[in-house]
Amino acid sequence: MQALISAHSGLRWIALLLLLLAIFNAFTATNYEKKHRLVNLFTMITFHTQLLLGLALYFTSEKVQFVEGWMKETIYRFYGMEHISGMLLAIIAITIGHSKSKKGADDAAKFKAIKVWYVLAFILVLAFIPWPFRTELGAGWF
């Protein structure tokens, strides 16, 4: 169980870095090249891997319990509903953005899709990560 938690928590940093790189590329590059497509693809793959790890945790973690009054308990509500819902929306945004960037008519359209959808995903990810400063959630940096 601890290995799964560590993998999910550690991979978040790779996922965030890839997401930031994809966004940076979309705002700074002028020609859509193979390297940009690969960064976008690896970002999507990393987030889908995070989803699989997260689902395994969702069904095995002590932090997800659907007991009476679970919505009143911050930790159970966050992990049982808020975290998974927010991250699913982020992954959907990344998937849409990647798909639209592949279908873009020109380089500007491809980068625009990444700008819109990946920035939306980035905002969602930041909002729904159980950051260590949210002490009631009991999460760490790794």
Element (H, E) at 118: helix 107-128
The residue that leads in pLDDT, 133 or 123, is: 123
Query: What pLDDT shows up at residue 142?
Result: 65
Listed residue (49, 54, 40, 17) closest to 96, CA to CA: 40
Residue 100 dihedral angles phi and psi, to the nearest 5°: -65, -35
**Tens of pLDDT, residues 34-76:** 999 999 999 999 999 999 999 999 999 999 999 999 999 999 9
Global pTM value: 0.92
